[in-house]
Amino acid sequence: MKQTNILVVEDDEIVARTIERCLRGSENRIRIANSGVEGLQAARREIPDLVILDVVLPGMDGYTVCKELRSDSLLQDVPVLFLTARTRDEDKITGLSAGADDYLCKPFNIDELLLRIQAILRRTHTQKRQKISQMMMEKPVAPEKAQVKNDDSVLTIGQYKLFTKTYHFYSPNTGKIRLTPVQYDILYHMMSHPGEVFTPSRLLDEIWDYPTDAGSPDLVRVHIKNIREKVEQDPHRPMFIKTVAGFGYTVELEA
């Protein structure tokens, strides 16, 4: 059975070893890096299944490390969980904007950390299986017969398009952009159910696979804010992902 490779980038030795003790087991292999540069080097030597990342690190901070991971074609889909003492909303927005999947503040509850890790790994393993299945179902086309056609690889609502094979998104306001893994998951899920209203707790359950009471509605709020910054002409007056006051968010069929 293949072990889950978890990279912990943390300069506090006590915190790093605490995480290692909690996750150690036959199914996990834990590697520890004590700086941002060391963490990037470790990730490039052997692609991890998950990165647990502090923000305050010697040399290169965690936000920069996360951006570097997202800009690397081999590492851009690796899930990142920030574990940090930076607790302000602005810090969370910065971390999730850099491409993180989740953000957990110190001091942290061990059980909460384990729940979030398990949920992230379940989600990413499901994504990998779906990608493999999709690749196996695709039949090669001879160059002379190749042609552009309408198929399931593009999910379209109005002028907005989600490219399910390249994980790009087209907005008439911002053009074609690359999404982070979580941003793609949110858009795919909501665009597949246009008109439905998604509460934050429902999105935490259906996107992050978090059990009840795990995760924070703020996580959803910040990710929606970041998506709007990318795709809306005026993020403060969104036309694509709309807020339904008192309930949650929806993508209208006639967006």
CA–CA distance, 91 with 103 (Å, rounded to integer): 9
Backbone angles phi, psi at 245, to 5 degrees: -55, 130
Output the CA–CA distances (angstroms, integers) from residue 33 to 39, 40, 56, 59, 60, in the order listed.
5, 9, 13, 13, 12
Q: What share of the chain is helix, strand, coil (3-state, %, to 5)?
A: 40, 20, 40
Q: CB-based contacts of 138: which residues, under 8 Å, 6+ apart?
A: none
Q: CA gyration radius for the chain?
A: 19
Backbone angles phi, psi at 233, to 5 degrees: -65, -45
Q: What is the dihedral of CA 113, 38, 61, 74, to 10 degrees?
A: -80
- Specify burial of residue 13 (Cβ count, 10 A radius: 0-12, 13-18, 19+): exposed
**Per-residue pLDDT tens for 125-145?**
765 545 544 444 554 444 333
**Per-residue pLDDT tens for 72-124?**
989 998 999 999 999 888 898 899 889 899 999 999 889 889 988 988 888 88
Adjacent-strand bridge partners of 103:
82
Angle in degrees, CA 183, 188, 192, rounded to 5: 150
Domain spans in the chain, listed from the N-terminal domain onward: 4-129, 145-251
**Per-residue pLDDT tens for 13-47?**
999 999 999 888 768 899 999 999 999 999 999 99
CATH topology (fold) of 4-129: Rossmann fold (3.40.50)
Q: How confident is the model at residue 236 (pLDDT cuts 50, 70, 90)?
A: very high
More confident residue, 242 or 252: 242
**Per-residue pLDDT tens for 103-115?**
999 998 898 899 8
CATH number for the region 145-251 comes to 1.10.10.10
